[in-house]
Structures are given as structure tokens and as C-alpha cells.
Structure 1
Amino acid sequence: MKNKGQIIIDMSNFMVVTTFFSLWLAVQFEEFIENIFAYVLILSLGIIHGANDLKLIQHSNSSRSTKISYVRTLTYYILFVLGSALLFYYVPAIALISFVIFSAYHFGEQHFGVRIKEPTFWGNILFFTYGFFILCLLFYLHAETVTEIIHTITKIKIDERDYYYASLGSGISMSVLYVFLMVRDKDLRTSFIRETFHIVVFFILFSTASLLWSFAIYFVIWHSIPSLVDQIYYLYGDFSKKTVLGYVKASLPYWVISIIGILFLLFVFRSNFETSLSFFFSFLAAITFPHVLVINRIKNT
């Protein structure tokens, strides 16, 4: 039986093929259809990968011999999500910046988690710069739409050239850090060409597909699915049909609640795509904050 790391690494070919198939879909259909595909992906695999946080917390508490009741854990979790939502309502600029920072680190942590098993200070910086570069590249290649979304959320107008400078700066920082770390890490040295190829794939994806479809493919195919494998191994110690079904069953109630909330927002703001997309990302952010902390906790268990 393959271990978790080998399964995730072997999934690389599947993710590349799926990405190019998604690009083919982008060419075949107009942007409206792309966006429908994107919502379906995000609302299914994308949301469900973060719907089992409470079970992960309970398992982590058990591993640490920490006795906290389920009701207490649930209460804290709900309050955290509500607090995140209120942050977007009252100080949206700070909330959005926090969301980008949290997401950047989370994406990098998941991507390099198999290779950097015991992250150092510089390893953590690599996690952040990698994820930040991916987000900045996405923003830069969809600058006009991203600017409108940010303006809708924060009322702040960002110069579209700033995305270029941010992506350039984060790209250089990430590259320097990667080279610095791979001198001492064999796993990073052997994966250098593969990682470079993946960046090229992301550039092609973001350049070709719409903003929402680009984000959906990266978020679901490159982040959520590997994260699901990670979580299933953490909870059950194995990856099989039985453990996958067990994970889905445990996630179902929280997944349904999240879907109802997001669909409600999309329905209310259905007449304005930029506004609906803004609230969609805000809702994702509200449930992302606690999820990032949970995943970071279990990776340090």
C-alpha cells in the first residue's frame, strides 16, 4: 500500500491532465458556462475539503490528550466564523488582506507539506511566498475583474500595475528561497523541474480561463483534493473507498450548511456578477480563517 506522500506526488500527472482538460472546456464554452462549472466544483469538492474541521479538531485534541467537549468546540468554531464575517462587514480592507495572507500560507503549506515534513522558519516563509505568488499571478492575469471585486468589497481602487509588481516580487522571493532550501533538501532538488513546470501550467491556465474558472481549478484540483487525501490519512490512517465514504459522511452536515449559506448569497445578488462574486469570496474567506488554523494545528500534531 502506498503511503500518503507517494499518493499525493503520484497525483501530479492527474492534476496536470485535468487542468489541460479544463482549459479545453474553457475554449469550448462561453464564460457564463465556465462560471457555472466553477461554482459546482467549488461548492462540491472545494467546500467539502474544509467541512470536517470539527472532527479534525476533536482528533487533534485526542492526540494531545486535551479534553474539550464537542459542544464547546462547535461553539468556538461558529463564533470564529461569525467573527470573520463581521470583520468583512466592518473592516473589509483588513479582512481581505488577512484572507490573502492566510490563504497564501495555506496553499503553500499544502503544496510543500509532503516534501518539507518538518518546516523551519525559512520553510514557512517559502510556504507563504509560494502561495502569495500563485495568488498574485492570478490577480495580475485578471487585473480588471479583481480590481472591481476588491473595490466592491473595500471601496478601494487598486492600480492594476500593482499586481504586476506584487507577482514579480513574490516570484523572485519564492525562487531565491527555493534555491536556498533545495541546497540542503534532496526532495526539493529532485522536484525542481516539476515545480517549474507546474508554474508554467498555472500561467497558461490563468491566462486562458476566466477568473472564477482559474481559481476553481487551482483551488479544487491543486489544493482541495491533495488536502482531502491528507485529512483522510490523518483521521483514518488509510486511503480507501471505505475511509473516503467515512470522511464524506462525517462532513455532510457542515457541508450542507455551508452550501445553503453560499447559495443564498448568490441568489440574493444574482443580478450583479461582480457583487455576487465579492460576497462569494467573502463567504469563502469567513470559513477559510478557522480552516487554515485547524490544518496548521494538525500538521504540527
Structure 2
Amino acid sequence: MLKTNFLHIFITILVISIYPWLETLAFDTQLKITLALIFLLGIPHGAIDHILLRKKKQSTKQQIQFYAFYLGLIGAYVITWIVFPYFSLVVFFLISFFHFGQSQFSDVKIEESSKGKKLLYLSWGGSIISGLFYHHYDRLIEFFLETSHFNQTATIITPTSLSYFFVITSIATFILMAYLLLFKVNSKNRFFSEIGVFLLLHLAFYTLPPLLAFALYFAVWHSLKVLYEEYKYLGTKRKKFKFNHFIKELLPFTLMSVAGVLILLFAFSYFQFSISPFFLTIIFLSVLTLPHSVVMDNWYKKMQRK
């Protein structure tokens, strides 16, 4: 964990050091950088979900069942976004809280069924995401208000309620990390390392423009970490597995996903639907995150049993 964090820490400190220049970038440029990182790292980290849980002898029926489940969740969530947008947004936040926290602490040698570990996932992810909103409330609320479906967001997510949520989840994260890392697994190094990471991320959120802050976390801290774990896992399953083999595994569904989001962006722009490219990107990420998080939860449980 400490070794793999070095690259993330180096990149984060480097980006923070040039933040005055980043703030001068036009919004369109920031959006393009964010989308580029999502395409290069964010989407690929979920592009081999169909491989991670694959059994040695998997029947055609089992493969069809997996794709039906995966695509079915995506389809159902798209419909839910259309009919119940605010409910879908809350679901996306909760899924993201848990998923981000799980990817950060999945290697901690405590059973995945542990309530304390699950609460840590939620509190850590909740603090990270609410911290981004807390530091850039006015700008991020503007993104929501650009879409007619979410023009009441400012009355639901107020600065006061957001501040309370951010403080509570942050305090809960420190308490749960102390309990699990110090007392349960007796790892002082991991505890102080995680505190450093936690503070560094919030420093990045405070200094960087919101889109670039999100891109830094999602692409570098989350997606790159998961890609590394997936690469190591496939290396243990296949003989002479090299990096170019890994890229070949990622490409098919990555290209399909990128093509899908580009078509959606073009369609919504061409037909002038009342939804911003920013929020369309959020919806696209959410419908991919739902089935991906289910697969990753099962994969982390599978890895821990070994």
C-alpha cells in the first residue's frame, strides 16, 4: 500500500504546486482534461469487469447471465434517472461513497462483512466527495442549476447541511481508521499513512479547480490504483502476462464506452436537450458505476478469501 501510494502522492503534490496556472485555464479546457483522464483511466478501470469474476470453466449461459445482469442494471438506472432524478443522484452518491472507500481499504485484513469496515468505506468516501463540494460549493451548485431537472438542488444541499455532513463524515473516518487500523490490525504505519493521504486529498480539493480536483482523485487515486490491482491479479492467473496483454484486455469495452459517451454528448448537443455536458457525464459515469461497484465488491470478497 505504501509503495503504490508514492506515485499518487508525487502526482498530487506536483499538480498542487502548479495550481495558480491551472486556475487560469478556461472551463472548456478543464472539462476536456477531465474527460481525457476519464477516458484514459476512469473508464478502463471498469473495462474488465467481465473477466475479474470469470470462472475457469464458464458456460455460455453463465456469460449471457453476466452480461444480462450488467446491462440490465445500466438500463434500469438510466430509466430511474429519467423518472426519479433526485433519488438517482442520492443513490449515485451512496454507491460512490462505498465504492471509493472500499477501493482505498479493501486490502486491510478485516472481513468484508465487518460492519466497522463497511462504515469506514461509507464515511471515507462520504468525506472525500462532500469535501470536494464543501470547498467548491458555489461553482458545483451552478453545474446542477444548469440542468432543469436539478434546479432545486441549492435548496436541498445547503452550505450548512453540507458543512455538517463533511465534518461528521470526516470525524467518523478518523475514529474508524483509529479503531480498525490501530486496534484491529495493529498497523501504525498504515494509520498515519492514511491520515496523510486524507489531508493531502483535501488540500488538493481546496487548491484546485473543482473539475480538475475531481479528475485528479477519480483518475489517479481511484482508477489508477484499481488498474494496478487488476493487472497484478491477472498476472497471477496467466503465465507470461505482460502489460501489452493487459492493454488488449482493456481496449474492447473501453472503446465501446468512450464511443457511447461521445455519441451521447453529440446527440444531446445536436438536439439541444436541457442538460449540460457536465451533468450528462455524471449520469454516464453513474450508470457504469452501479454494476461496476457490484462486480468489484464481489471481487474484493473473492480476493480476501484466498
User: 2: CA distance between counterparts of 1:23 and 1:266?
Assistant: 30
2:98 aligned partner:
105
Within the candidate set 37, 40, 43, 1:44 is matched to: 40
User: 2: CA distance between counterparts of 1:112 and 1:295?
Assistant: 13
The answer as to whether partners of 1:104 and 1:131 remain within 8 angstroms in 2 is yes
Q: TM-score by structure 1 length?
A: 0.87
Greater CA deviation, 8-17 or 166-175? 8-17
1:189 aligned partner:
188
Greater CA deviation, 259-268 or 147-156? 147-156
User: 1: CA distance between counterparts of 2:142 and 2:275?
Assistant: 7
1:131 aligned partner:
125
After superposition, give the CA deviation of every residue in 1:90-114 in whole Å (9 maximum; x if it has no partner): 1111111111111111111110112
Which structure 2 residues correspond to residues 211-230 of structure 1 after superposition, within 5 A?
211-230=210-229
Q: Which runs of 5+ in 2 are unaligned?
A: none
CA-CA distance at 1:23 after TM superposition: 2.6
Runs of 4+ more than 6 Å apart: 238-241, 271-274
- SS of the residue 2:7 aligns to: helix
User: 2: CA distance between counterparts of 1:264 and 1:23?
Assistant: 33
Q: Could you say if the C-alpha distance between residues 183 and 28 of structure 1 is closer, same or farther in structure 2, counting changes exceeding 3 Å?
A: closer
Q: Could you say if the C-alpha distance between residues 215 and 241 of structure 1 is closer, same or farther in structure 2, counting changes exceeding 3 Å?
A: farther
1:4 aligned partner:
none
1:294 aligned partner:
295
1:75 partnered with 2:68: yes
User: 2: CA distance between counterparts of 1:177 and 1:250?
Assistant: 37
1:281 aligned partner:
282
Q: Could you say if the C-alpha distance between residues 103 and 278 of structure 1 is closer, same or farther in structure 2, counting changes exceeding 3 Å?
A: same
User: 2: CA distance between counterparts of 1:241 and 1:222?
Assistant: 28
After superposition, give the CA deviation of every residue in 1:70-123 in whole Å (9 maximum; x if it has no partner): 233223211211111111111111111111111111111110112245331111
Q: Could you say if the C-alpha distance between residues 240 and 102 of structure 1 is closer, same or farther in structure 2, counting changes exceeding 3 Å?
A: farther
User: 1: CA distance between counterparts of 2:274 and 2:237?
Assistant: 42
Q: Could you say if the C-alpha distance between residues 116 and 34 of structure 1 is closer, same or farther in structure 2, counting changes exceeding 3 Å?
A: farther
Q: Could you say if the C-alpha distance between residues 265 and 66 of structure 1 is closer, same or farther in structure 2, counting changes exceeding 3 Å?
A: closer
Letter in 2 for 1:225: L
1:92 aligned partner:
85
Q: CA RMSD, aligned part only?
A: 2.6
Greater CA deviation, 263-272 or 149-158? 263-272
- SS of the residue 1:184 aligns to: helix
User: 2: CA distance between counterparts of 1:266 and 1:106?
Assistant: 26
CA-CA distance at 1:251 after TM superposition: 2.2
User: 2: CA distance between counterparts of 1:97 and 1:194?
Assistant: 30
Which structure 2 residues correspond to residues 50-65 of structure 1 after superposition, within 5 A?
50-57=46-53, 59=54, 61-62=55-56
Q: TM-score by structure 2 length?
A: 0.86
User: 2: CA distance between counterparts of 1:18 and 1:273?
Assistant: 36
1:244 aligned partner:
243
The answer as to whether partners of 2:45 and 2:227 remain within 8 angstroms in 1 is yes
User: 2: CA distance between counterparts of 1:265 and 1:297?
Assistant: 30
- SS of the residue 2:108 aligns to: coil
1:18 partnered with 2:11: yes
Using the aligned pairs only, state the percent identity: 23
CA-CA distance at 1:199 after TM superposition: 1.9
The answer as to whether partners of 2:182 and 2:191 remain within 8 angstroms in 1 is no
User: 2: CA distance between counterparts of 1:103 and 1:211?
Assistant: 17
After superposition, give the CA deviation of every residue in 1:277-299 in whole Å (9 maximum; x if it has no partner): 01101100000000000000111
Greater CA deviation, 116-125 or 152-161? 152-161
CA-CA distance at 1:50 after TM superposition: 0.7
CA-CA distance at 1:159 after TM superposition: 1.5
CA-CA distance at 1:154 after TM superposition: 3.3
Greater CA deviation, 150-159 or 103-112? 150-159
After superposition, give the CA deviation of every residue in 1:25-65 in whole Å (9 maximum; x if it has no partner): 443241433332221111111110011111223x2x449x8
The answer as to whether partners of 2:268 and 2:275 remain within 8 angstroms in 1 is no
- SS of the residue 1:115 aligns to: coil
User: 2: CA distance between counterparts of 1:86 and 1:273?
Assistant: 17
Number of aligned residue pairs:
291
Letter in 2 for 1:287: L
